[in-house]
Each structure stands twice: as C-alpha cells, then as structure tokens.
Structure 1
C-alpha cells in the first residue's frame, strides 16, 4: 500500500496544480465568483461620491503612458467637460518600451531601435485619437516623450546626465509633435517640461497616479507631481488614481460594464471616492480604449476590464491618519 501511494503521488500533484490553475482562471475571468464570495462591490457602493466638477475649472491629467488617462479616468474627463471644465492631458512617455508590442506592430521578430521608435510615434497617434474620442482638443494635449520605463532613472541617477533608453537607443525626445523636441532624457528636463505644462494650464485640479501604483513609471510620476505641486504650494490640488493595483486587478478580466470597479488591493486604505458613469460615458470610454490598437491586440481583456460602472479617485496620496496602517503598509 505504501509503494502504491508513492507511485501515485506525482499524479496527485499534477491534479492539484491543474485544479489550482482552473480555480485561478475562474477567479480572473468569471463575474460569478465576485458576486458569490467577494463583497468588494458593496464597499464600492458605500464610498462617498467624488466632488462634482464645475464650469471654468481647469483639470490636468498627468499620464505616465498613452492609455493610462483612458483606463483610469475616461469617465471623469468626460464628466469634467460636460460640467464646463477645461481638460488638458500631458503624457510623460510615448509608451515605446514594449518589445512584443513592436514585434506585432512592426511585423518583425527582432525589433530594433528604429522599430521601437516607430512604435512610440504610433502610440502618440493613438493617444491623440483617444483624447479626441473623450472630447479633449489637440491644443490641450501635451506629449512630453521621455523614455518608457525610464522615469525612475531620470528622477534619481540621471537627473542631470542624459539617460540612454535601452530599447530605442534614444537619449533625447524624438517623437513627432513633442512639447520640447530634442530635450535630453534627464530628470531636470522632464521637470522643466511638466512645469511648462503647469504654467500654461494653471490647473485647479491635477489627476496623477497614486504612490501605491505598482508600475515604476507610475509611482515615480506620483513623487514628481507631489514634489512640483508642493513647491507651488498647491499639493492639495492633486487627486490620485491607480491602474496597476495588484495581482490581476481589476477582475474579472474582459468587458463587464455593469460591474463596479473595485478598490485596488495595493491601495485599500486610501480615502477613495466613487465616480458613477452613465451608459454613454462607458460607451465612449470603450471607444477610447479601443483607439489603442497596439495595446488591445495584445491584452484586450485587461484593457476592457477598466470599462466599469464607476471610476475611483482619492483626494490623498496616503492613508488617512488614524487608519492604523503605516504609509509603507500600502
């Protein structure tokens, strides 16, 4: 009997692994699991509504890459304009660092620097089309064009010395229509460009990624935004969102426009507010998501998972005092 058990033990592990993978797939893709076992939808429903926009308000979206502005805040941006606010978008990078994306877009097995730069310009065009879908005119959009995946380097070791992006081999802004063509890839130049945008827009409200966002470009931009707005004595004008919020978030994957966007696991203690979207706003958000064809051809279910019944916005970058959780705990 002992020998029989030992012989079947490898098969048991295989069965357990297969069952585990099936359970994970169901959790990621099926809305039924959330309805039966997860009460996060109830928590979202209990969140306070975000403060309404007002006529004449100047709203600036700081987006690390083309598509972040749409995934997090397409409904918000539509609501702001419907209220008579003036919306502007500034993209920090052209999203030119994804080699698999370039391989498909450029139809090559080994994308080189020129292919990666071509991808960057393609994504610039997608960003402007998505902004137009959301009603943001081209004259209120700003493409800065710094290196995708390189913002932390610019913020730290390459603040004054130019950084050479490993995939594009560029060390200066090259994308068509950039705010400052030829600007060196340094933190100094990036801060100068963001400051130019702030001076032009004079925003009453700035939408930026939260420090808890997992993507390095995202939380680095959060630090930069907090630093620059604090210097202006306007840190209270920042509000925060998350796109990379934890393991497989948001779930379920795919288009489930009737479901709530739940609180991201990496930022559960932020003082979130809820922005409910109309059917029309969700339709326009989906159209803007699909304007990013370079992304939806690779990860359509991730992209479309952000088209939900609501969006989330926090007026603070850290948990409220007295929450019992240290900043690092997020």
Structure 2
C-alpha cells in the first residue's frame, strides 16, 4: 500500500507568521497600522472641518441603541456642551436583543424572555451613566424602549398592529424610565414618541444614523427621521453619522487614539466633514464607552476602535450628484 504524503507545511507556516505579524503590529499600536488596513487616512485629513456648535443651540442625538450615541458622537456632544449648546439624547430601543450579551450578564446558557428584559433594563442604566459622563443630565434624555432588532418591522408590517419581540416576548414598552410606558410596539407609537421628543426639544440640529448604515435598526431610524423632519420642513437640520459602515470597519480594531477614524466603506461617497477631538475629549469618550460594560465584554475591540482623533458627520444623506449646490445649513 503506497504511503500517504503529508501536505507541505510551508504555506501554513507562512500564513501563520503573517497573521502573527499583523496581530503584533496592531498590539503595539504602530502609527502606520491604520494605513495598512485602510488607505483613506489621507482623505480624512483633507476633509473640511465641521462648523463649531454655537451657544444656545439645541442638539438632538437620535440613537438606535444605548452606546450608539457614544460611538458616533461623544466628541461632538462634549464640544456642543462646551460651546454653550444643549444636547439631548433619544434612544429608540433599549438594546435588549443581544442574546450572547445576556448569556454573559445573566450567567445562563439559554436566556429566556425575563433574562432579555433584565438586559434591557441594565442597558438603560448604562445609557444614563454614559450620558452623565458626557455632560448630558437625565432631564435631557429620552428612552423610547422599542424592540431591539424590530424597528424595520415597526416601519413596515407592524405600523398599526403590535409586534412581539422574539427575544423578550414583549409587545409593548416595558423598560424602566421609558417616555411612554406600555406603548405598543407599533410604528405609529414609535413615530408618536419621536414627534413628542421633537416638540419638547425643538432641535436646531439632529444627529441621526445615515441611510447607508448596515444595521437595520440604524437605517430604519434614518428613514423615519428623514420623513418626520421633512414633514416639518426641517430636513436641513439633519446631520448623519455611521457606526456599522462595512466589513471590519473601523480598522484596526482596538484602542488607537493616535489614528484617524477613516471613511466607512458603505458610505465613503457621502460629503463627509471632520470633527477633530482633543486628547481630553478622546479620554472622556473612552470613559463613556467603558460605562457599557455589558457591551465591552463582547464587543470591546469594536467599540474602542471609535475612540480616535476625529469623528465624522455628513450634511447630506446621499452622495453629491455633480455640482449641484448644497442645501442651506442650520447646524454645526
């Protein structure tokens, strides 16, 4: 019987060596790591700077989940508050749909509806702590508490009929401190709450997820914000950010405060503007990220990757077409 030959080990060894070198480079935080993974650093440096916030402005951050407001906008929130503007935060969901998160926090292999609801209440508490770190008091925050992972259903098939979350088995808002406790999980109720927030805040600037953001809750909230603000003839007050911007973005993962936040691949053609952060603002953003302990235990390297030299904001939800003039601006 002929002897079987072993496949050559050299390609395996070379591949292992390459991965080890890349991991080592990321670990020691070389200044050029960002360029290895994403060549758009030069494009970021060439972006125009966002106009500064002004005293008396009212700025509303629309956050799909607890932590999005920090990842996208912690530096901007600090800058607005320092400039004498008032920042308000509205969370559309309580972030109660991440089952692996519940496995760790509730110490159970099969989290049931009650464990998922406890996760939702825990994330509400984390959101309040993050807001406090960034200088936003509880009186300027709104927890809407609609189902994590269900906003698209509310926007479409469950606009009028209540949706039941497959994770929590809830069909109405249950989290502590919600704006409208017991509101049904319907698109109509969500829009009513968002309109209530807009009426209370009367924002000059609304920071919302961009339509290109990959997460369904994110781009659905973008569609709703565009429709509601357009109905008020205030769409020019919207500014757009991205958190889920494409495979593996932002790179490199982990904490790299000396690197820029580069353009998200899924939205690279938006007319981005750059928000430069000071070292103190980066540190405060890192502290706010750290309040989300339920998330950093699982997604820490992803979340820390947003603590960079800058943040990104687009005045438009779509790429510019030709040389068409931009609309007038009402915000930073």
With the length of structure 2 as denominator, give the TM-score of the two structures: 0.91
Q: Is the 8 A contact 1:28 1:251 kept in 2?
A: no
Alignment partner, residue 58 of structure 1 = 58
**How far, CA to CA, are the matches of 2:291 and 2:206 in structure 1?**
24
CA distance in 1, matches of 2:277, 2:262: 14
Q: Call closer, same or farther: CA 1:10–1:165 in 2, change over 3 Å.
A: farther
Number of residue-to-residue matches in the alignment:
321
Mapped contact 1:275–1:311 kept (Cα < 8 A): yes
Equivalent in the alignment of 2:200: 200
> Which stretch shifts more, 62-71 or 249-258?
249-258
Alignment match, 2:185 = 185
In 2, distance between residues paired with 1:241 and 1:233? 21
Work out the CA distance in 1 between the residues paired with 2:37 and 2:207.
Answer: 33
User: Within 2, Cα distance between the matches of 1:165 and 1:13?
Assistant: 47
Scaled by the length of structure 1, what TM-score is found?
A: 0.91
- In structure 2, runs of 5+ residues without a counterpart are 324-332
Q: What is the alpha-carbon distance in structure 1 between the residues aligned to residue 163 and residue 36 of structure 2?
A: 49
Match of 1:225 in 2: 225
1:35 Cα deviation from its structure 2 partner: 3.5
Change (3 A) 1:84 1:35: same
Change (3 A) 1:315 1:179: same
Cα distance in 1 for residues equivalent to 2:18 and 2:94? 38
Conserved? CA contact 1:27–1:252, under 8 Å: no
SS in 2 for 1:90: strand
Distance in 1 between residues matched to 2:9 and 2:248, nearest whole Å:
29
Is the CA contact (8 Å cut-off) linking 2:34 and 2:259 kept in structure 1?
no
Aligned partner of residue 299 in structure 1, secondary structure: helix
Match of 2:330 in 1: none
Q: Which residue of 2 aligns with 1:128?
A: 128
Displacement after TM superposition at 1:33 (Å): 3.9
Q: What's the CA shift for 1:108?
A: 1.1
Q: CA offsets per residue over residues 164-194 of structure 1, 9 Å max, x none?
A: 0001000000000000000000000000000
* Per-residue deviation, 1:19: 6.7
Equivalent in the alignment of 1:326:
none
Paired position in structure 2 for 1:158: 158
1:261 match: 261
**Cα drift, residue 300 of structure 1:** 1.0
Which residue matches 1:85? 85
CA RMSD of aligned residues (A): 2.2
Structure 1 CA distance, aligned partners of 2:105 and 2:174? 19
* Counterpart-to-counterpart distance in 2, 1:272 and 1:213: 14
Q: 2:175 corresponds to which residue?
A: 175
Q: Secondary structure at the match of 2:298?
A: coil
C-alpha displacement of 1:51: 1.2
Shift in CA distance, 322/10, structure 1 to aligned 2, threshold 3 Å: farther
Q: 1:38 to 1:131 in 2, by over 3 A?
A: closer
Are the counterparts in 1 of residues 37 and 252 from structure 2 also a CA contact under 8 Å?
A: no
Alpha-carbon contact 1:144-1:193 (below 8 Å) kept: yes
Unaligned runs of 5+ in 1: 324-330
Aligned mates of 2:36, 2:170 — CA distance in 1:
50
Cα distance in structure 2, aligned partners of 1:38 and 1:158: 40
SS of residue paired to 1:130: helix
Secondary structure of residue in 1 paired with 2:87: strand
Between the aligned partners of 1:86 and 1:151, the Cα distance in structure 2 is: 27
- Cα distance 1:25–1:213, how it changes in 2: closer, same or farther (>3 A)? farther
Mean alpha-carbon deviation: is it higher for 39-48 or for 8-17?
8-17
